[in-house]
Amino acid sequence: MKDIDAIAVLQDPVRRRLYEYVAAQGREVGRNEAAEAAGVARTLAAHHLDKLTEAGLLESGSRRLTGRSGPGAGRPAKVYTRSPAERSVSLPARDYRTAAELLAEAAEQAGLDAALCAAARRRGEALRGPGAGPCGSLREAVEMLAARGYEPHLEGAGAAEEPSGDARAASVVLRMRNCPFHAVAERFPPLVCGMNLALLEGFLGTDGPVRARMDARPGECCVVVQDSKSNDR
């Protein structure tokens, strides 16, 4: 299916709510859970979830949602996760990805890592805005990074509430499910991940209550954000 056809599938409001819910969870989601979240009947949710899978926007599988195995554990249920495939539409056609990969290749071969990071840090500061201070909290960082497409979420004890106190803040980490530079980062990970870290250092600030650091995890952005007083490494 062409990208424009796949994206058009999201025009239906129920389908879009289901997609956005599944994408935001970062795990497998069953039909009952998705239906409840979207406020629709299970049969309607199943229909739309399967349409999203046919379009390549979701991936489906099956497992026992009870967590048990063997006799009496129940039948496997259908579950869904967001597809890692990237979809984009440009009218008229543009190919910025090839240009980005060529520039990254040239920068890597020329050893321009430091210059790229310096430029990324300056861009991050510019994105923060003239005269704007550093990010004031992890909650504020969530809002800032969500607006940039990083899909941030808090993990750790107390993540459901605003962290307070050194010990509690140290247990909460802000991770990001999406890397906006994923396609180029896959080909040039040290260069692009270093650039991303520098960009977020400039964007969030390095002398405030939060700090960005590298902590790569499969399927997520290579950078995490945490309280600047945390001893977590």
Mean pLDDT of 52-65: 92
Mean pLDDT of 131-139: 93
pLDDT value at residue 5: 92
Q: Are 130 and 207 in contact (CB under 8 A)?
A: no
pLDDT value at residue 121: 98
For 198, the enclosing helix (H) or strand (E) is: helix 189-204
Q: Are 31 and 60 in contact (CB under 8 A)?
A: no
Q: Quick check: 134 pLDDT over 90? A: yes
Share of the chain above pLDDT 90, in %: 76
Mean pLDDT of 119-125: 97
How far apart are alpha carbons 187 and 101 in whole angstroms? 8
pLDDT value at residue 166: 44
Among candidate residues 87, 90, 78, the one with its CA nearest the CA of residue 49? 78
Residue 171 binned pLDDT confidence (cut-offs 50, 70, 90): confident
Among candidate residues 118, 172, 204, 181, the one with its CA nearest the CA of residue 212? 204
How far apart are alpha carbons 157 and 214 in whole angstroms? 21
For residue 10, the 8-state DSSP code is: G
For residue 197, the 8-state DSSP code is: H
pLDDT value at residue 154: 95
pLDDT value at residue 2: 85
How far apart are alpha carbons 185 and 41 in whole angstroms? 40
Instruction: Tell me the pTM.
Output: 0.83
